[in-house]
Amino acid sequence: MGLITETNQQYYQGAQGFSSLAVLPTPNSQAFTATFDTDLVFGSWNPSEANYALNNFKLYTSPSGIPGTYTEYVSAYTMVNNTITLVGLQADTKIVIQLKVLTGGKYGQSESQKAYGQTVEDNYGNYSYITLNEAINNFLVAYVGKSKLILDVKRTDVMFHAKRGL
């Protein structure tokens, strides 16, 4: 079991924010590396192309970073190994990479519009919790049997006490 290596924004919102430099290099391009536990999938930067639907993320920009001012970034960009290079940025632009559901979503809007979905769920990592069935199986393997703490017990008895413990 590993430690969570993401920020709260990455883990809970499936988003990662950046700010462009105050003075951008020529030709106003800058690279941003996403550090999600989930790799980004890139099909196309152009929403009118079919391969755009393959992306598991969207890019949003805002001049101020105030919620509700973010708009989807639909200009040309490239991505290699989770590093996105944007061209034509304004200085001090706020950028957000948002993991998305296939139907899309918006960043920084109402709760019902946020782009939560399976990609964000996959990013959580399911190592944090185990099912009750796994806990019962682990107990039976570790503590029940010949030369163990409990010689014999019914699975239903263990299940009863496990549920009471919850």
pLDDT digits (tens), the chain, 166 positions: 345 677 766 776 777 888 777 665 666 778 888 888 778 889 888 888 888 888 888 888 888 888 778 888 888 888 889 888 888 777 788 888 888 765 545 555 555 445 554 555 555 555 556 778 888 998 999 999 999 999 999 999 999 998 888 8
Contact 35, 6 (CB under 8 A): yes
Helix (H) or strand (E) holding 135: helix 132-143
Sign of torsion over alpha carbons 6, 9, 14, 20: negative
Q: From the centroid of its chain, how far is CA 60?
A: 15
DSSP SS3 for 98: strand
Cis-peptide into 63, omega within 30 deg: no
Q: Where in the chain does DSSP place strands (E)?
A: 15-19, 29-33, 57-62, 71-72, 77-80, 83-87, 94-99
Whether the pTM exceeds 0.85: the reply is: no
